[in-house]
Structure 1
Amino acid sequence: MDDLLLLVHRIPYPPNKGDKIRSFHLLRFLAQRYRVHLGAFVDDAQDWAHQQRLQDCCTDICLIGLDPRRAKLRSLTGLLSAEALSVAYYRNAAMAAWVKSKLAAGIRRVVVFSSVMAQYVEHEADDVCCIVDFCDVDSDKWRQYAAAKSWPLSWLYRRESERLLAFDRRIASVSRAALFVSEGEAALFRRLAPESAEHTDCWHNGVDTAFFDPALSFDNPFSADAASLTFTGAMDYWANVDAVVWFAREVLPRVREVIPSAQFWIVGGRPTADVRALAALPGVHVTGGVPDVRPYVAHAQAVVAPLRIARGVQNKVLEAMAMAKPVLATRAAMDGIEPNPAFDALVADSVDDLAARTVALLHEGDVGGLGTLGRHWVEAHYNWERNLASLARWLQPGQESWNEEQ
Structure 2
Amino acid sequence: MKILFITKWLPYPPETGNPIRNYNIIRRLAKKHEIWVVSFVDDDTKPEDVKIFKEYCYKLITIPYQEHSALFAPLRAIKLLLSGTPPDLRLNESNLMQQTIQQITKEQEFDIVQIEDSFMAFYHEAVYPHKKTRTVLSLHDIGFHKYNQIYKLEPKLARRFRLWLHSRMLRLWEPNYSQRFSSCITMSELDKQRLIEKNPLLTVESIPNGIDVQTNQPLSKSLSSTQNLLFIGNMDYRPNQDAMYYFCKEIFPEIKKRNGLINLWIVGKNTSADIFALATDSIFVTGRVDDVHPFYEKTHISVIPLRAGGGTRLKILESMALGRPVISTTVGCEGLQVVDGEHLFIADNPEVFVQRIQQLFDDPKLYSRIVTNARDFVETRYSWNGIVNNLEKYYEKL
* Global fold match (TM > 0.5): yes
Moved more, 23-32 or 254-263: 23-32
Moved more, 21-30 or 166-175: 166-175
User: 2:117 aligns to what?
Assistant: 114
Is there any run of 5+ residues in structure 1 with no aligned partner, and where?
A: 400-406
SS in 2 for 1:194: coil
User: 1:205 aligns to what?
Assistant: 209
Q: Partner amino acid for 1:93?
A: N
Q: CA deviation at 1:72?
A: 4.6
SS in 2 for 1:121: helix
For residue 104 of structure 1, the aligned residue among 99, 103, 106 is 106
User: 2:229 aligns to what?
Assistant: 229
Q: TM-score, normalised by structure 1?
A: 0.89
User: 1:13 aligns to what?
Assistant: 12
* Structure 1 residues 361 and 85: CA distance shift in structure 2, 3 A: farther
C-alpha distance in 2 between matches for 1:230 and 1:13: 24
After superposition, give the CA deviation of every residue in 1:212-248 in whole Å (9 maximum; x if it has no partner): 212479xx7x9x4311101111112111111111111
After superposition, give the CA deviation of every residue in 1:112-169 in whole Å (9 maximum; x if it has no partner): 1112222222364754310111121022111111233353333211211122333322
* Matched-pair contact (CA < 8 Å) for 1:348–1:354: yes
SS in 1 for 2:229: strand
Equivalent residues in 2 for 1:75-224 (5 A)? 77-82=76-81, 83-108=85-110, 109-122=112-125, 124=127, 127=130, 128-149=133-154, 151-196=157-202, 199-215=203-219, 224=224
The alignment yields a C-alpha RMSD, in angstroms, of 2.3
* Matched-pair contact (CA < 8 Å) for 2:99–2:126: no
* Structure 1 residues 302 and 177: CA distance shift in structure 2, 3 A: same
SS in 2 for 1:74: coil
Is there any run of 5+ residues in structure 2 with no aligned partner, and where?
A: none
Q: CA deviation at 1:297?
A: 1.3
Q: Partner amino acid for 2:3?
A: L
Q: CA deviation at 1:46?
A: 3.7
C-alpha distance in 2 between matches for 1:254 and 1:121: 51
C-alpha distance in 2 between matches for 1:58 and 1:386: 21
* Matched-pair contact (CA < 8 Å) for 1:204–1:388: no
Q: CA deviation at 1:211?
A: 2.3
* Matched-pair contact (CA < 8 Å) for 2:231–2:304: yes
Q: Partner amino acid for 1:294?
A: H
C-alpha distance in 2 between matches for 1:172 and 1:34: 26
After superposition, give the CA deviation of every residue in 1:276-324 in whole Å (9 maximum; x if it has no partner): 1001x34111011122111211231211111111212101111001111
Q: CA deviation at 1:86?
A: 4.2
Moved more, 339-348 or 310-319: 339-348
SS in 1 for 2:72: helix
User: 2:341 aligns to what?
Assistant: 342
Give identity over the alignment, percent.
23
SS in 1 for 2:278: helix
User: 1:404 aligns to what?
Assistant: none
For residue 72 of structure 2, the aligned residue among 62, 68, 74 is 74
C-alpha distance in 2 between matches for 1:366 and 1:206: 27
Q: Partner amino acid for 1:16?
A: E
SS in 2 for 1:189: helix
* Structure 1 residues 48 and 118: CA distance shift in structure 2, 3 A: farther
C-alpha distance in 2 between matches for 1:236 and 1:227: 27
SS in 2 for 1:205: coil
* Matched-pair contact (CA < 8 Å) for 2:320–2:374: yes
* Structure 1 residues 182 and 236: CA distance shift in structure 2, 3 A: same
Count matched residues: 389
* Structure 1 residues 125 and 140: CA distance shift in structure 2, 3 A: farther
C-alpha distance in 1 between matches for 2:381 and 2:88: 32
User: 2:25 aligns to what?
Assistant: 26
Moved more, 43-52 or 325-334: 43-52
C-alpha distance in 2 between matches for 1:85 and 1:49: 35
* Matched-pair contact (CA < 8 Å) for 1:141–1:309: yes
* Matched-pair contact (CA < 8 Å) for 1:256–1:262: yes
Q: CA deviation at 1:210?
A: 2.5
* Structure 1 residues 330 and 391: CA distance shift in structure 2, 3 A: same
SS in 2 for 1:39: strand
Equivalent residues in 2 for 1:245-324 (5 A)? 245-279=245-279, 281-324=280-323
C-alpha distance in 2 between matches for 1:266 and 1:138: 26
* Matched-pair contact (CA < 8 Å) for 1:143–1:161: yes
User: 2:39 aligns to what?
Assistant: 40
* Matched-pair contact (CA < 8 Å) for 1:213–1:323: yes
* Structure 1 residues 345 and 18: CA distance shift in structure 2, 3 A: closer
- Give 1 or 2: higher helix fraction: 1
C-alpha distance in 2 between matches for 1:105 and 1:332: 44
Q: Partner amino acid for 1:185?
A: D
